[in-house]
A and B are shown apart, each in its own frame.
Chain A
Amino acid sequence: MSGLAIQARDVWKRYGLPLRPWLQRRIDRLRADGEGARVKYGPWALRDVSFEVERGESLGIVGKNGAGKSTLLKLIAGVSPLTYGSLQVSGRLFPMIELAAGIHRDLTGRENIKLLGAIMGFTAGQMEAKMPEVEDFAELGDWLDKPVWQYSSGMQTRLGFSVAVNVDADILLIDEVLSVGDINFQKKCLNRMDELSNSGVTVIFVTHNPYSIERICERALYLEGGEIAAAGSPSDILSAYFKGALDRSTTIAGKDPIAADLREGTGAFRIMKVSMHDAASGQEISSFSTGESICFRITLDVREPTASYRFSLRIVDPASTVVSFVDVPISARRSLALAGDSVLECRVDNINLLPGQYWLDLVAREIAGPVIDSVSYAYTFNILGNSEVIEQMEHRGIVYLPARWALRRARQ
């Protein structure tokens, strides 16, 4: 198979009912500022988007909320018309958006499978033939003869997904569907998608989880404000995506102490400041290189005597995955000795994380008791690569493994 599956040229999309074409043309002429007019008379959900997807290719689309990802999928799916430009799609298309679309809660699972098939354009006979495969994939067993309103939301998704991946389509549009279902079902879905992708199906994959782009896609687009901000290999797009996500950082360093009082917890003490220091020199730093040793310094304002508690620190990556967790029990004897400004230091040696941005979550909890204070995204820091090789691995994973490779002929 060769040729283009999708060709988008200068696609513009504005929501809302458009004026009749002749009227719009006349208004455009009156405004008479040509191309500038377009930008002005928005709001545009998509602006001047052009891209091509080859048959059998898999394209990832990332972007923040409201960047136009879902709009683009809707246009490709053909459920929503574009405002300007042209968009050609060739092949049988299956949008895996709104998996529950058309499912009727009062009908049984089996009745719903047939209905979903009909919505996709299959005849009753064709669906009958696919039934065993679908049932097999869904793993719903006897539940298939029960009405869907009795299903859990995960089971409903399974039903939708099972039909989706077992019908023949040339182009699959996938939007965030993997975020549901239990871990085993997710794995199964990912495997099935790998299979489909290898068998020549074109895949368009929209997600918030950046690592799955790297896993599934050959190429990716980064949408920002309805425009393509970057296009290229998944790893290039990932670093662009994370740079765009940086504004999420909220550190308590320098924050108003009143905010500390508004936080949940008993407030026997409050975390006032977090800083990071070079382990050897004690100098304050905001970034370090993979493999270096550093020290986190947490300033506490102790207001009441506390019994023994546990202080824990989580390192979180931009996708909110907990990368690591360290905690320390603090005995009553030690904690009772503190009052007013106090400092807790945590030294970590040889941090083997790949370059990128990370955050700290802090929690202090009495042993078998209530939370004293907790701050999410309390502090952010950057890890840099200490060599060009490591630099290239920015956000392509989490853990740095020093690897040694060998290639040779096997001895007989």
Chain B
Amino acid sequence: MSQWSNNNPAQNQVDSWLGYWNLLISLVTRDIRARYRRTFLGPLWAIIPSILYTVILSFLSGLVGASSEGMPRLAFVMAATVPWTFLQSSVVRIPHGVLANGTILRKMPVPRQIFPLVVILTTFFDFMMSSIVLVIVLQLFGMPISWAWLWLPALVGMTGFLAWAIGIGLSAITIYRRDMLHGIQYIMQVWLFVSPVMVSSSKILEDWPLLHALNPAAGIIDGFRRVLVYGEPPNAEWLLASLIMTCLVLAVAYPMYHVMSQYFADVL
């Protein structure tokens, strides 16, 4: 009689893969459609952040006299900024996304894992739009499409994976205490400056080698730059370090989200 029961009694209505997929697609379509519907510039907002970031960071990079290793500065910075924007906006938006769907969470036993995924896919749409601009810019600077580009799906996947791992951890905390909702933007700013976005990986490696090794974004962002700007494969060691760090984050974040998400309806 005093058995511990954490089970949600109602059967999950979205129990089949088809239902899950359908819900995922519906929510993503909703968010993409609705996001820019009442704006003047419309879907242009999907690419504006990346472009603005590129301009600002290129300017800063020139100002502090950071080396672009002999490459055109704009292309050098943009190749890292576009994936970074994908990572950053996913991480920042995931907790908001979970909160915004609070009414659904309080009503239907939908799988709680779906909401962070929806945010990542929505941001992925923005990323794809920005990527088109990026490819055009790279062509303008005469950087050809090479075999190394085959690495891109893996790199994009790792970026999404990292964003997801951090995002679910943040959401689990945010549902109970809203601090990270406000704080995360500033943390992301700091993270940006210690990642090889504005400056090269070798520069960071020189100044803070440990930080470079522990930074889960370092290997991935550097990988993007190597592939896109130099047409080389990513540094396998650094990429592996990123992957291991991501898995460590996930090892903490996933169980936390899994347990806490059951109680979202109680506190939302």
Q: Do B263 and A84 have beta carbons less than 8 Å apart?
A: no
Q: Do A102 and B19 have beta carbons less than 8 Å apart?
A: no
Interface membership of B202, Cβ < 8 A: no
Select A107's contact among B4, B33, B110, beta carbons within 8 Å. Answer: B33
Interface membership of A75, Cβ < 8 A: yes
Q: Do B38 and A106 have beta carbons less than 8 Å apart?
A: yes
User: What does the 1/0 interface line of A71-89 toward B look like (CB < 8 Å)?
Assistant: 0001111111110111111
Q: Which residues of A have CB within 8 Å of B11?
A: 78, 89-90, 92-93
A118 and B108 in contact, given A102-B103, A111-B33 (Cβ under 8 angstroms): no
> Shortest beta-carbon distance, A258 to chain B, in Å?
44
* Residues from 113 to 147 in A contacting B, C-beta threshold 8 Å: 114-115, 118-124, 147
A79 and B105 in contact, given A92-B13, A123-B22, A124-B22 (Cβ under 8 angstroms): yes
Select A76's contact among B5, B10, B23, B37, beta carbons within 8 Å. Answer: B10
Select B109's contact among A79, A88, A115, beta carbons within 8 Å. Answer: A79
**What residue in chain B is nearest A12 (Cβ atoms)?**
B2
Q: Do B13 and A100 have beta carbons less than 8 Å apart?
A: no
Interface membership of A17, Cβ < 8 A: yes
**What residue in chain A is nearest B18 (Cβ atoms)?**
A123
Q: Do A95 and B9 have beta carbons less than 8 Å apart?
A: no
Interface membership of B26, Cβ < 8 A: yes
Q: Do B8 and A81 have beta carbons less than 8 Å apart?
A: yes
Interface membership of A104, Cβ < 8 A: yes
**What residue in chain B is nearest A82 (Cβ atoms)?**
B5
Q: Do B106 and A17 have beta carbons less than 8 Å apart?
A: no
**What residue in chain A is nearest B110 (Cβ atoms)?**
A119
Select A101's contact among B33, B107, B267, beta carbons within 8 Å. Answer: B107
Q: Which residues of B have CB within 8 Å of A81?
A: 5-8, 262-263
Q: Which residues of B have CB within 8 Å of A304?
A: none
A147 and B37 in contact, given A74-B106, A81-B8, A98-B103 (Cβ under 8 angstroms): yes
Interface membership of B154, Cβ < 8 A: no
> Shortest beta-carbon distance, B203 to chain A, in Å?
44
Select B107's contact among A77, A89, A114, beta carbons within 8 Å. Answer: A77
Interface membership of B104, Cβ < 8 A: yes
Q: Which residues of B have CB within 8 Å of A114?
A: 26
Most central of B1, B9, B26 by chain A CB within 10 Å: B9
A79 and B5 in contact, given A93-B13, A118-B27 (Cβ under 8 angstroms): no
User: What does the 1/0 interface line of A4-28 toward B look like (CB < 8 Å)?
Assistant: 0000001000011110010011000
Q: Do B266 and A80 have beta carbons less than 8 Å apart?
A: yes
Interface membership of B178, Cβ < 8 A: no
Q: Which residues of A have CB within 8 Å of B176?
A: 17
**What residue in chain A is nearest B9 (Cβ atoms)?**
A87
Q: Do B106 and A98 have beta carbons less than 8 Å apart?
A: yes
Select B34's contact among A38, A80, A92, A106, beta carbons within 8 Å. Answer: A106
Interface membership of A97, Cβ < 8 A: yes
Q: Which residues of B have CB within 8 Å of A93?
A: 10-11, 13
Select A77's contact among B7, B108, B262, beta carbons within 8 Å. Answer: B108
- Assembled-state Cα–Cα distance A111/B262 (Å): 29
> Shortest beta-carbon distance, A147 to chain B, in Å?
7
**What residue in chain A is nearest B102 (Cβ atoms)?**
A101
Q: Do B107 and A24 have beta carbons less than 8 Å apart?
A: no
Q: Which residues of B have CB within 8 Å of A15?
A: 266-267
Q: Do A21 and B103 have beta carbons less than 8 Å apart?
A: no
User: What does the 1/0 interface line of A26-50 toward B look like (CB < 8 Å)?
Assistant: 0000000000001000000000000
Select A80's contact among B15, B18, B265, beta carbons within 8 Å. Answer: B265
- Assembled-state Cα–Cα distance A107/B35 (Å): 10
Select B10's contact among A77, A97, A106, A124, beta carbons within 8 Å. Answer: A77
> Shortest beta-carbon distance, A16 to chain B, in Å?
7
* Residues from 1 to 58 in B contacting A, C-beta threshold 8 Å: 1-15, 18-19, 22-23, 25-27, 30, 33-34, 37-38
What are 7 A-B contacts with C-beta separation under 8 Å?
Answer: A25-B4, A76-B10, A79-B108, A84-B4, A86-B5, A92-B13, A115-B27
Leading 5 A-B pairs by shortest Cβ distance: A78-B10, A118-B26, A101-B103, A78-B109, A121-B13
Question: Which positions in A face B, CB cutoff 8 Å?
Answer: 10, 15-18, 21, 24-25, 38, 74-82, 84-90, 92-93, 95, 97-98, 100-102, 104, 106-107, 111, 114-115, 118-124, 147
Q: A18-B263, A74-B265 are in contact. List 13 more A-B contacts (CB 8 A).
A: A77-B10, A78-B10, A81-B6, A81-B262, A92-B13, A98-B103, A98-B106, A102-B107, A106-B34, A107-B34, A118-B22, A121-B14, A122-B19
